[in-house]
Amino acid sequence: MTTATTSAPFADPRPITDLLPAVAAECRRVLEAAVDRDWDEPAGDLDWSCRGTAAHVADVLFSYAGQVVAQPDGAYLPMEVTVEDAATPDRLVASVVACAQLLHLACAAAPDRLRAWHPAGVADAEGFAAMGVVEVLVHTHDIALGLGLGWAPPQQLSRPVLPRLFPQAPDGDPTEVLLWCCGRAALPDRPRLDAWRWDPTVRGRPGTGGPGAGSTEPPLRWASGGSVRCCPSPTGQPGVPLHEHPRLLPGRPEASLHPVDDRGAVS
């Protein structure tokens, strides 16, 4: 499947890191209006409940902040966010917003030379911020579906992360393209993805292990077809089943993230 590089200019001139507060505020605006609904319902097509998905987002954002601060070079830090069983939906939303702010503060204070480990590749602060933005936008969409809300990620918040995390994403409406890149929906000319991968590695700098200058990895491609059973999260190395990854939490779906090489075959 051929792809076209998304070349549209950013709608928001702020750095991606500075989008985190706006993304968190949008999440709060949408989900606080539905705190009286049943959060035990599945979140979209995920195997998790809306409640579990919100807890997952808080955990991931907290984990990303920890990576940016500690700058480990080989694994996630051995810590995670645990949400109390009695937490109400409004407190779950508040936890997501708080962890988004932690990630924002960590990334905003990080030096340009910062590098930290992520399963998809060694990333800089902007890479972690971009993944945080996508985590909040895409999972807010999942939860909104589960709660019966008609909401999709705003274009102005979706567009900046596409060239940063999905450099070979097709052109088109940023909201639709983001949901397609994350396996949530089909595009008019492209089927829904059942395997996908993002790329948070440092762009155009040799020795980062990613697809920038000096990298030996093939350009990113996607396999297509089927329904999503994976999500952007600290889940596992590409090709490693999620249930085998040490950061897998109870209730996460079993699936694999597969890089696809230039020949079009899932490796």
DSSP string, 93-159: HHHHHHHHHHHHHHHHHS-TT--B--TT--B-HHHHHHHHHHHHHHHHHHHHHHTT------HHHHT
Least confident of 11-15, 33-37, 91-95: 11-15
Distance of CA 147 to the CA centre of its chain: 20
Q: Is 35 helix (H, G, I), strand (E, B) or coil?
A: coil
CATH class of the domain comprising 16-244: mainly alpha
pLDDT over 80 (residue 58): yes
Segment (H or E) for 162: helix 161-165
| Matching residue, tokens 């996908």 | 196
For residue 259, which of 125, 127, 168 has the smallest C-alpha distance?
Answer: 168
Residue type, 232: P
For residue 118, which of 138, 103, 108 has the smallest C-alpha distance?
Answer: 103
Q: What is the pLDDT of residues 89-123, one digit of tens each?
A: 999 999 999 999 999 999 999 999 999 999 999 99
First to last CA, the chain: 15
Least confident of 104-118, 119-133, 185-199, 219-233: 219-233
Residue 171 Rama label (left phi>0; alpha psi -120 to 50; beta): beta
Name the more confident of 124 and 9. Answer: 124
pLDDT classification of 54: cutoffs 50, 70, 90? very high
Residue 190 Rama label (left phi>0; alpha psi -120 to 50; beta): beta
Residue 203 has a pLDDT of 76
What does the CA dihedral 230, 235, 239, 244 come to, rounded to 10 degrees?
-110
pTM of the model: 0.77
Beta carbons of 220 and 197 less than 8 angstroms apart: yes
Question: Where exactly are the structural domains of the chain?
Answer: 16-244
